[in-house]
């Protein structure tokens, strides 16, 4: 769906959207980016970890919303994620934002480096959907109390409502939802894009 009503803060967002479309690279919707930016602007987290860089589209939305945050973003596709640096250079406002990029499988890196992120303020998860349940189990257990955890694609194009759909990603998203509900952590579902879920660890 076209989201021309969403005000992009810089023309590079249109450039990134066009590149993603031409190369069939999934990115958050502009409305999702706007909501994400707004939430971070209110929360002003000192530290942010993003699981799933893509081309850096959501990274720059978060940096715009909270430019003084320290952002670490992880993705296994280093060549694709490296595009983030080039896009960032086009926006002088973000030159002082601390953005660190790591090339690795998200789940592996998280399991192997718990000591590096256990005190992080906010996590944005938008990596392989089949890993959503395992990442949730890890974050819900090891993240500090008060940490904010945001997941994208939680509506999964409506597929979670059809019990006959049993692809690994379908099963994973359904399992993820069950685990979140069973945890009794407070959460809010924002019905933008493919569903943005905001969770706070008590």
- 3-state secondary structure at position 47: strand
Residue 5 domain-assigned (yes or no): no
Q: Is residue 4 part of a domain?
A: no
Give the closest residue to 68 by CA, choosing from 90, 82, 38, 47.
Answer: 47
With cut-offs at 50, 70 and 90, classify the pLDDT of residue 1: very low
- The count of domains in the chain is 1
Q: Is residue 32 part of a domain?
A: yes
Whether pLDDT at 2 is above 60: no
With respect to residue 67, please indicate whether it lies within any of the assigned structural domains.
yes
Sequence-distant (6+) residues with CB within 8 A of 173 are 129, 132, 153, 154, 156, 159, 160
From 96, 94, 97, 154, select the one nearest 124 (Cα to Cα): 154
Q: Between vectors from CA 142 to CA 136 and to CA 143, what angle results, nearest 5°?
A: 80
Q: Is the pLDDT of residue 48 over 60?
A: yes
Q: Which domain covers residue 122, as residue numbers?
A: 12-77+106-200
Q: What is the pTM of this model?
A: 0.96
* pLDDT per residue as tens digits for the range 96-108: 889 999 999 999 9
Report the candidate in 118, 108, 112 with the shortest Cα–Cα distance to residue 49. Answer: 118
CATH number at residue 168: 3.40.50.150
Q: What is the pLDDT of residues 118-173, one digit of tens each?
A: 999 999 999 999 999 999 999 999 999 999 999 999 999 998 888 888 899 999 99
Is residue 89 in a domain?
no
Q: Please give the DSSP secondary-structure letter assigned to residue 123.
A: E
40 domain residue, yes or no:
yes
pLDDT in tens, 189-199: 999 999 999 99
């Amino acid at each position: 769906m076209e989201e021309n009503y969403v005000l992009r803060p810089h023309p590079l967002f249109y450039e990134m959207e066009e590149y993603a479309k031409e190369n069939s690279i999934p990115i958050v919707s502009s409305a999702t980016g706007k909501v994400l930016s707004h939430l971070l602007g209110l929360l002003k987290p000192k530290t942010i970890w993003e699981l799933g860089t893509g081309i850096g589209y959501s990274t720059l939305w978060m940096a715009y919303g909270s430019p003084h945050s320290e952002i670490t973003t992880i993705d296994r596709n280093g060549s694709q994620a490296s595009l983030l640096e080039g896009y960032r250079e086009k926006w002088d406002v973000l030159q002082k934002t601390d953005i660190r990029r790591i090339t690795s499988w998200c789940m592996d890196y998280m399991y192997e480096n718990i000591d590096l992120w256990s005190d992080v303020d906010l996590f944005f998860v938008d990596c392989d959907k089949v890993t959503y349940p395992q990442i949730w189990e890890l974050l819900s257990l090891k993240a500090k109390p008060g940490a904010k955890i945001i997941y994208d694609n939680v509506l999964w194009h409506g597929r979670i409502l059809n019990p006959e759909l049993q692809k690994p990603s379908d099963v994973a998203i359904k399992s993820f939802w069950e685990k979140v509900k069973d945890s009794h952590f407070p959460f809010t579902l924002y019905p933008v894009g493919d569903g943005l879920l905001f969770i706070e660890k008590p």
